[in-house]
Amino acid sequence: MEIGQKEVFILGLICIEFFNKKVMKKIKIILVLTIVLAGYLIISCDTTTIQEIQPVVANPTYNTNIKPLMTAKCTSCHSTNGKYPALANYDQVVDATENGSLLCKIEDQCGEVMPPNGKMLQVFIDMINNWKTQGYAQ
């Protein structure tokens, strides 16, 4: 029995179709798994989770610990010409901590909590309290 060109062509098409279905099924499975994994990572990898499990800085200094925190959380509003209290430099942050206006707001003990997008993580509040207790190291 001789196979002609037409039969070979049809057999080739059948093989290609079979191969495409298997490959497409694998691609679909990989794509779905990738989307599920990406969604899981986006939902589960929250930076606050990492910050919440960090230990409190035992010996914080203004330049290393407090200033970056104030810059990240406070100075966009509480700059030298901004809202009271100003928190743009060492003296201003010490003054606000000493007179109670900073800790009162971030600990949510005197009305409006700061920062406005929600209470600061306890690890940061404890760090500021340590800084105060230890004499405001620069």
Q: Is the pLDDT of residue 46 over 70?
A: no
> Does the pTM of the predicted model rise above 0.75?
no
Domain ranges of the chain: 5-45, 57-133
Residues in Cβ contact with 44 at an 8 Å cutoff, skipping those fewer than 6 apart: none
Looking at residue 59, its pLDDT comes to 95
What percentage of the chain exceeds 70 in pLDDT?
A: 75
Give whole-number Cα distances, 121 to 50, 56, 113, in Å: 11, 11, 12
Report pLDDT digits (tens) over 19-36.
677 766 777 777 777 777
In this prediction, residues 88-115 reach a mean pLDDT of: 93
| Residue ranges in 45-89 assigned as alpha helix (H) | 47-53, 67-73
